[in-house]
């Protein structure tokens, strides 16, 4: 299913009006999809931009229009690169690189999704995007034309594009045939809740914003609770984004701006 379909399932299962995911997961992929519920859907900017880790299988010898197993084959080759050649290519990508996103992607082109234009047969010209590959490691080689890697990268990196580029560097073609996101920020697949289990445990699956983000806590004097509720000015010299509490209640994420408390992301339950 798509990330949007997963969000719809969660919305229905929890009976929540506001639900949103924190970073698209390709329909072919499985693994970690962080979903914000209620006011926590406002945490998108804090969570979506964090580094991701994947397990990916590259199959050499052909390429599809989508660069993954769901697409139509567009090219084939009998040139299958050696393990050493592929490892050398993968290692050369570690660091900051300019990556051209797949044509079938959610990138916007003149206000429309690239994949929508591609499906309509229109030419799609996507500009390179600067991304970071932190680490790659060969896990195994199931067959002579298949290699499985672990990849840790910045948000916005397309593993399908890595597969395409590595094959090209080796004078070959390749397609992504399996993808699992194992980590998204500090969220690990081993701690994830499967949709079928969510139907059983429902709200018990929801974690607090404090467990989702590693931010300091700032306690506002309880005597200022009424000022907090009504948005009056409160002195604050905290320089970093922090969870703002008053009388044990989380008001949101904020910091001091010109010596005055500024709530950037409001999370208090009404």
Q: What is the Cα–Cα distance from 246 to 159, expressed in whole angstroms? A: 43
Contact 45, 34 (CB under 8 A): no
Could you give the 3-state DSSP secondary structure of residue 91? helix
Contact 86, 59 (CB under 8 A): no
Q: Provide the CA 18 distance to its chain's centre, in angstroms.
A: 19
Angle at 149 between CA 172 and CA 186, to 5 degrees: 140
> Of 26, 165, 221, 258, which one is the catalytic site residue?
26
Q: How far apart are the first and last CA of the chain?
A: 34
Q: What is the Cα–Cα distance from 270 to 257, expressed in whole angstroms? A: 25
Contact 45, 148 (CB under 8 A): no
The token pair at 108 is: 């916007």
Q: Is 26 a catalytic residue?
A: yes
The angle, 0 to 180 degrees and rounded to 10, between the axes of the packed helices 83-92 and 159-169 is 120
How many CB atoms are located within 10 Å of the residue 86 CB?
Answer: 23
Q: What are phi and psi of 156, to 5 degrees?
A: 95, -5
Q: What is the Cα–Cα distance from 238 to 250, expressed in whole angstroms? A: 16
Helix H segments across the chain?
3-14, 44-47, 83-92, 114-119, 159-169, 195-201, 209-212, 225-229
Active-site residue numbers?
A: 26
């Amino acid at each position: 299913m798509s990330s949007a379909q997963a969000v719809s399932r969660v919305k229905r299962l929890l009976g929540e009006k506001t639900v949103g995911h924190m970073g698209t997961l390709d329909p072919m992929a499985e693994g970690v999809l962080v979903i914000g519920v209620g006011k926590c859907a406002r945490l998108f900017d804090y969570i979506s931009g964090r580094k991701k880790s994947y397990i990916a299988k590259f199959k050499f010898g052909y390429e599809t229009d989508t660069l993954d197993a769901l697409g139509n084959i567009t090219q084939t080759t009998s040139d299958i690169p050696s393990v050493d050649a592929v490892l050398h290519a993968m290692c050369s990508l570690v660091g900051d690189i300019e990556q051209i996103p797949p044509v079938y992607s959610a990138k916007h082109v003149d206000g429309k999704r690239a994949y929508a234009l591609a499906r309509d047969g229109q030419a799609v010209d996507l500009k390179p995007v600067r991304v970071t590959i932190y680490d790659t490691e060969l896990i195994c080689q199931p067959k002579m034309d298949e290699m499985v890697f672990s990849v840790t990268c910045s948000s916005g990196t397309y593993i399908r594009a890595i597969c395409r580029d590595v094959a090209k560097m080796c004078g070959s073609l390749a397609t992504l045939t399996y993808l699992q996101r194992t980590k998204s920020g500090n969220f690990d697949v081993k701690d994830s809740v499967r949709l079928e289990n969510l139907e059983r445990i429902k709200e018990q699956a929801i974690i607090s914003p404090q467990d989702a983000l590693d931010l300091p806590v700032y306690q506002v004097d309880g005597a200022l609770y009424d000022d907090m509720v009504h948005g009056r000015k409160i002195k604050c010299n905290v320089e970093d984004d922090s969870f703002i509490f008053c009388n044990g209640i989380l008001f949101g994420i904020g910091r001091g701006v010109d010596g005055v408390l500024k709530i950037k992301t409001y999370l208090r339950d009404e």
